């Protein structure tokens, strides 16, 4: 179902990841009268609250089928692009919590999927030098250990890792939509993610605070690490709020000069440029059915 981005989550894990009240709300009349142009794909519900805004329809990782259905009908519904937005793990040693990356490509299983050059440039310009234009690698499970992060960086050359960008990039390519990925680092390459924090992520898009507390009680020695992760998450969440306000309607995308990147994986090659301007629209958040 589709609802306005008006909801509150509870639980320790959500707090660690920056959960809180939405920053803005839209009227039903506005939702009906103003078109949407961008689909945002995020991991967690706190990311969905931040991503939601003018010009955007948001899906979490629990709504992949709904995302695919929206992309399939994108031209009829008026959508022109998909953006992967939210937190990422750092793989490059010089990236810290709160640093931004705009994907130059998305790596998965040894191949690279293209990103939209014009839209990515728009994002980089908006951040005014506060973001790096680097490859991101997509994975299906969290990367928690520094040794694993170092190996992934060595094997792919990617500077950051997340669990959504590879999914969104393939869907965008399959349906001729522009694609961009904008991610903020939440855990640097040297940081080990405590098992309690990982337990909280196993419930899907909504963090499981009970699982976090149970694991913390069973292994209290991880409390200091959990507090460090909490601080990193707070920094990343504040950055997400700031940059989302900065980017404004539709994450800076209104219409495309072309049809976006072609289907399939590209190791290199020209990327479709976009005719970019600020749209006027209002977002909704799409929750799992």
- Each domain of the chain, given as residue ranges in start order, spans 2-256
User: Under CATH, domain 2-256 is a member of which superfamily?
Assistant: Nucleoside phosphorylase domain (3.40.50.1580)
Contacts of 41 (CB under 8 A, 6+ apart): 58, 59, 60, 61, 67, 82, 83, 84, 85, 164, 167, 168, 171
Between 182 and 220, the higher pLDDT residue: 182
Give the highest mean pLDDT range of 14-23, 155-164, 203-212.
Answer: 155-164
pLDDT number for residue 109: 85
pTM of the model: 0.75
Share of the chain above pLDDT 90, in %: 50
- d(CA 34, CA 37) in angstroms, rounded, equals 10
Q: How confident is the model at residue 188 (pLDDT cuts 50, 70, 90)?
A: very high
Distance CA 180, CA 216 (A): 37
Vertex 124: Cα angle to 122 and 125 (nearest 5): 65
What is the arithmetic mean of pLDDT over 15-29? 36
Average pLDDT on 35-49 reads: 89
Question: Where does the pLDDT of residue 206 fall: very low under 50, low under 70, confident under 90, or very high at 90 and above?
Answer: low
Quickly state the pLDDT bin for 20 (edges 50, 70, 90): very low
Range ranked top by mean pLDDT from 149-153, 217-221, 223-227: 149-153
- Average pLDDT of the residues in 247-270: 53
- For the cut 90, the answer to whether the pLDDT of residue 172 exceeds it is yes
pLDDT value at residue 174: 93
232 touches 97 (CB < 8 A)? yes
pLDDT in tens, 105-122: 999 988 899 999 999 999
CA atoms within 13 A on the CB side of 231: 8
* Residue of 14 and 123 predicted with greater confidence: 123
pLDDT given for residue 81 in this prediction: 94
Angular region, 108: left φ>0, alpha ψ -120 to 50, beta rest: beta
Burial 84-106 (b: 16+ CB within 10 A, else e): bbbbbbbbbeebebbbbbbbbbb
Strand partners, 134: 103
CA 41 to CA 60: how far, in whole Å?
A: 6
Q: Specify the pLDDT at position 200.
A: 54
- Predicted confidence band of residue 165 (pLDDT cuts 50, 70, 90): very high
């Amino acid at each position: 179902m589709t609802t306005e981005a008006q909801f509150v989550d509870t639980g320790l894990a959500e707090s660690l990841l920056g959960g809180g009240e939405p920053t803005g709300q839209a009227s039903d009349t506005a939702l009906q009268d103003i078109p949407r142009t961008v689909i945002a794909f995020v991991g967690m519900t706190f990311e969905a609250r931040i991503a939601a805004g003018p010009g955007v329809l948001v899906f979490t990782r629990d709504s992949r089928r709904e995302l695919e259905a929206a992309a399939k009908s994108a031209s009829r519904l008026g959508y022109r692009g998909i953006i992967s937005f939210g937190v990422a793990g750092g793989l490059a040693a010089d990236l810290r919590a709160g640093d931004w990356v705009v994907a130059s490509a998305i790596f998965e299983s040894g191949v690279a999927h293209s990103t939209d050059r014009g839209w990515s440039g728009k994002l980089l310009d908006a951040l005014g030098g506060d973001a790096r234009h680097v490859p991101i690698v997509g994975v299906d499970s969290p990367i928690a250990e520094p040794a694993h992060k170092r190996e992934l960086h060595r094997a792919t050359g990617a500077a950051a890792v997340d669990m959504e960008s590879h999914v969104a990039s393939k869907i965008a390519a399959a349906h001729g939509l522009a694609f961009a990925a904008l991610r903020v680092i939440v855990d640097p390459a040297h940081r080990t993610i405590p098992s309690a924090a990982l337990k909280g992520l196993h419930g899907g898009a909504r963090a499981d605070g009970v699982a976090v507390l149970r694991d913390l009680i069973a292994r209290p020695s991880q409390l200091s690490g959990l507090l460090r992760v909490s601080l990193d998450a707070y920094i990343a969440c504040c950055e997400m709020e700031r940059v989302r306000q900065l980017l404004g309607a539709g994450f800076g995308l209104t219409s495309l000069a072309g049809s976006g990147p072609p289907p399939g994986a590209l190791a290199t090659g020209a990327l479709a440029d976009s005719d970019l301007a600020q749209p006027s629209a209002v977002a909704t958040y799409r929750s799992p059915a």
